[in-house]
Structures are given as C-alpha cells and as structure tokens.
Structure 1
C-alpha cells in the first residue's frame, strides 16, 4: 500500500518497533526506570538503542515488563518473575509448534497397507 493510503502499515503498527523511551515506558508501567534496567540485566527484555545510546522499548517488551511487574507486585522475587515469564514464553512457543505439527499431520493423506 502506498504510504499515504489510510491502511498503510507504519512502524507504530509493529509490536516490535522500539517506539518508547525508558522514561515513557516506566511511566506507562508505573515503575521506576531502574525496574526496566533490572529486567534487561536478567535478559528478560533487551531494548534497542537509539543513535544516541538511549534505551528504546517496543509494545511487545512493555507487555512482558507489565507481566513482570504483576508478578513482582504479587510478591515474586524479580529473578523468579523473569524466569517464570521466560518459561511461559517457551511453553507457549512449544504449544504453537505442536499445534502446527498436528495440523500438518491431519492434512496428510493416510495410506493403507
């Protein structure tokens, strides 16, 4: 689609586009910037860097950070919260792959002996 058309996809439509500064991301999550830095230290999220070296976060990363915040607010240590989220993500990916394999097997014709 041409850039000027009403249905053109923009970087802001991309969940992975690093649109938010650390300050804005922290404000949206109701946390301090240090919380986001800690999530990075635990490799839960890896923000991209602007040309000036400032951290930039995507909507996807903010959803992950919000999940971490939820767990921490419930009393889960941040290290454990990060591990839980990583495991949840791995499980979701495994289930998605499993479902794709099942669908592919259902589409294959059966052969009789």
Structure 2
C-alpha cells in the first residue's frame, strides 16, 4: 500500500523515479547502452537497480545523459563531457544557494 497522502500517479510527476530500462533510455537518447554504461563508469549518473539487477534510469538522469551526449556529438571526449556536466551541475547548485542567501538577507519590502 502506498504511503498515506500519495497517489500512484505521483510517480509520473517524480523526476527521480527510475522508470526507464537501459534499452528504453538508450532509445530515447538515440545512443547505445554502452554509452549509458560509460556515463556510469565516469560517475556522471548512477542508475538504480531493479530487483532483478537491471539498470533503471530517471527522467533527471536522462536529461543529464542528454547533455553529455550533446557535448560528445560536438567532439568532446566522453570523459571530458562527464566532467563538464558535473561542473555545470555544481555551478547551478551554487548559484541557487547564492540566490536563496541573497533573498534571506534582503530587507522585506515596506508594507503599504
């Protein structure tokens, strides 16, 4: 039984839900399963495993993999593409944290 307050359809909205098999993920990205395995070896994405041990990917992981594929298609070595995507992700997170801190420090607007 699902936890109270959740609906089975909530999984459809969850970017982190591991909904895609390796074959389906590779097909969606227009790449091979070997490409996805290489991304895992380079620690860009770590797929979850089904009870049977098969790799399962989330929508978030597929977006990350798609970005790496863009870079590889532009001639970047796959190892370098993985590092670039990791650094882009870290920069985005740092910018988000900065923005939150700025918002906390800024004075509240005067009320009318």
**TM-score past 0.5 threshold:** yes
TM-score of the superposition, structure 1-length normalised? 0.87
Partner of 1:45: 45
Structure 2: gaps of 5 or more residues: none
Secondary structure at the aligned position of 2:81 is classed as helix
Deviations 1:9-64 (A, max 9, x none): 42121000000000000000000000000000000000000000000000000000
Runs (4+) off by over 4 Å? none
Q: Distance in 1 between matches of 2:107 and 2:82?
A: 38
Q: CA RMSD in A?
A: 1.7
TM-score normalised over the length of structure 2: 0.88
Per-residue CA distance 1:53-110 (angstroms, 9 max, x = gap): 00000000000000000000000000000000000000000000001110000037xx
Unaligned runs of 5+ in 1: 109-113
Number of equivalenced pairs: 105
